[in-house]
């Protein structure tokens, strides 16, 4: 599998993370060599990545998105196995925190949420292989490259994965505004935890919801009934970090 | 000023909020009449809004975005005055909470953040008239129509507005990851408050930052240094709501 990473931050983070094989760096002729571009050139040089200059039209032909004049041909996204992710989580001193996405379809939402997940320091992210967006170039871009540093596992069946995580001692919290959900900040989120975010519009699938140990929701005080999925997930992730920091400070 | 509101939720919320003048509802021929479309037809009918059916190509020609087969020709966005916004805030039992956007440029970010602001129940939102995105059709769409229910004031100079808000007894918190910023959840955010969110990439302007009473930041535990502006703002808004709910429960 080969892939194109595009945009200044995504290419910079990909080269910094060193988790893909890099085939070629392509830069737009006449690109302004600001700080990030200089760092990209230096990292590519150190790693012995072949470089090529091309005109903007050639780059536009390769990527139909805002590439900012920087393209990196590389191997596909380096998914990890679920148990590698959990093993790595177990080696850290803090309680594991895994983010699970149930059939999210919008690359912008997935990338934005993954960027937050990286910022709060989750152990890893789990997505389902079929019927959901994978870690495509658009997701890498929307994550501003953060996903290059994160451990992401792709699984065949998310509901079964929840059972496997429970056997490993994680509690599973589903984020959904339903009647029996608790207000998110009233739930104890400091232990080993998996958090499930449902898809835009439809929420979690029934089989996924049923395997959650408890449901949490954000209070809604306006006249519009829902939040953007990546915002709701991000607010929940930051509340988990807040609770853990408060507990650690005690 | 006339405007086109597009998309199922935005058109529905606009009709429900009844704050614009509605000139004409245009629907795609053969559109599936699900719940939201039925409600739109009913609201438009009650309000005596002229209706028209058109083919998809005509709609595509009117709006270059995902209009979902629903367009509403209406008067421009109904901005309110800054003091109307504050008066209304003063009439509520809780401490005023005003969200201020310093030159945000991406309609998606502005719309997403405004959707969260509506969900937490802010008193209103303030944006600068020049050099920033206004409440355009794309912003209405990205807010999923939430902005139709919200009070938004457009001001000529945001820094001066901060001084005016301080005279009205509000404290001004700037959201920015700088050295002298406090971790957001350690700051007391329960009083009368204005929160300033800076633009994507550049943050707040110096003159705006200098008028803030204090700065708050989100902890960043990953390898990537920043968050999406609408996510950072949304996390801060929900922390304010959380603190106020905890205080009210005491």
By the 8 A CB rule, do B133 and B104 touch?
yes
Q: Which residues of B fall within a CB distance of 8 Å from A118?
A: 222-224
Q: Compare CB distances from A227 to B115, B145, B227 and report the shortest one's residue.
A: B115
The residue of chain B with its CA nearest to that of A145 is: B224
Residues A99-145 have pLDDT tens digits of 999 989 899 999 999 999 999 999 999 999 887 789 999 999 999 99
Q: Compare CB distances from A224 to B118, B220, B230 and report the shortest one's residue.
A: B118
Can you state the percent helix, strand and coil of chain B, rounding each to 5? 40, 20, 35
By the 8 A CB rule, do A99 and A127 touch?
no
| Whole-number Å distance between alpha carbons of A116 and A143 | 8
Q: Compare CB distances from A238 to B13, B16, B218 and report the shortest one's residue.
A: B218
| Whole-number Å distance between alpha carbons of A155 and B160 | 53
The residue of chain B with its CA nearest to that of A185 is: B242
pLDDT confidence of residue B1: 67
The dihedrals phi and psi of A65, each to the nearest 5 degrees, come to -160, 175
| Residue of A222, A241, A246 to mutate when probing chain B, most B C-beta within 10 A | A222
CA separation, residue B222 to residues A157, B101, B117 (Å) = 28, 26, 26
Show Cβ contacts of residue A58 under 8 Å, excluding neighbours closer than 6 positions.
A26
Residue ranges in chain B whose pLDDT is less than 50:
none
Question: Hey, is A21 helix, strand or coil?
Answer: coil
By the 8 A CB rule, do B237 and B99 touch?
yes
Q: What is the mean pLDDT of chain A?
A: 94
Average pLDDT of span A42-53: 96
Q: Which residues of A fall within a CB distance of 8 Å from B226?
A: 144
Q: Nearest CA of chain A to the CA of B144: how many Å? A: 8
pTM of the full structure: 0.95
CA separation, residue B149 to residues B20, B124, B126 (Å) = 11, 10, 14
Can you state the percent helix, strand and coil of chain A, rounding each to 5? 40, 20, 35
Q: Compare CB distances from A222 to B16, B108, B119 and report the shortest one's residue.
A: B119
The total of other beta-carbon atoms located within 10 Å of residue B106's CB is 19
Q: Nearest CA of chain A to the CA of B147: how many Å? A: 9
CB contact under 8 A, B115 and A219: no
| Strand pairing report for B124-128 and B2-6 | unpaired
pLDDT of A233 above 70: yes
Q: Which residues of B fall within a CB distance of 8 Å from A146?
A: 222-224
* pLDDT class of A154 with cuts at 50, 70, 90: very high
The total of other beta-carbon atoms located within 10 Å of residue A34's CB is 9
* Region for residue A30 given its phi and psi (left: phi exceeds 0; alpha: psi -120 to 50; beta: otherwise): left
pLDDT confidence of residue A1: 67
Q: What's the alpha-carbon Rg for chain A, to the nearest Å?
A: 19
A175: Cα separation from own chain's centroid: 17
Q: Which residues of A fall within a CB distance of 8 Å from B16?
A: 223
pLDDT confidence of residue A51: 96
CB contact under 8 A, B230 and A235: no
pLDDT confidence of residue A224: 87
The A-side interface with B (CB below 8 A) comprises: 9, 13, 16-17, 108, 112, 115-116, 118-121, 144-146, 149-150, 183, 185, 218-224, 226-228, 230-231, 234-235, 238-239, 241-242, 245-246
**Dmax over Cα atoms in chain B, in whole Å?**
58
Show Cβ contacts of residue B115 under 8 Å, excluding neighbours closer than 6 positions.
A224, A227, A228, A231, B142, B143, B144, B146, B147
Q: Which residues of B fall within a CB distance of 8 Å from A185?
A: 242, 245-246
Q: Which residues of B fall within a CB distance of 8 Å from A239?
A: 238, 242
Q: Compare CB distances from A224 to B146, B234, B238 and report the shortest one's residue.
A: B146
């Amino acid at each position: 599998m080969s892939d194109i990473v595009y945009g200044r931050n995504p290419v910079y983070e990909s080269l910094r993370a060193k988790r893909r094989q890099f085939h070629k760096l392509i830069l737009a002729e006449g690109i302004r060599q600001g700080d990030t571009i200089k760092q990209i050139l230096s990292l590519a040089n150190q790693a012995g990545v072949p470089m090529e200059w091309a005109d903007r039209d050639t780059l536009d032909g390769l990527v139909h998105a805002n590439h900012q004049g920087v393209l990196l041909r590389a191997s596909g996204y380096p998914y990890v196995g679920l148990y590698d992710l959990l093993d790595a989580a177990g080696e850290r001193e803090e309680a594991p925190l895994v983010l699970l996405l149930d059939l999210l379809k919008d690359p912008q939402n997935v990338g934005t949420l993954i960027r937050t997940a990286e910022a709060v320091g989750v152990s890893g992210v789990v997505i389902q292989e079929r019927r959901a967006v994978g870690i495509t170039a658009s997701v890498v871009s929307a994550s501003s490259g953060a996903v290059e540093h994160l451990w992401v596992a792709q699984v065949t069946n998310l509901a079964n994965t929840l059972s496997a995580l429970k056997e490993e001692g994680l509690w599973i919290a589903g984020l959904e505004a339903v009647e029996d959900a608790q207000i998110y900040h009233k739930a104890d989120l400091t232990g080993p935890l998996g958090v499930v975010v449902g898809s835009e519009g439809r929420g979690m699938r029934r089989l996924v919801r049923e395997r959650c140990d408890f449901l949490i929701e954000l209070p809604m005080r306006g006249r519009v009934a829902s939040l953007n999925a990546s915002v709701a997930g991000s607010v929940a992730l930051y509340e988990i970090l807040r609770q853990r920091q408060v507990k650690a400070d005690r």
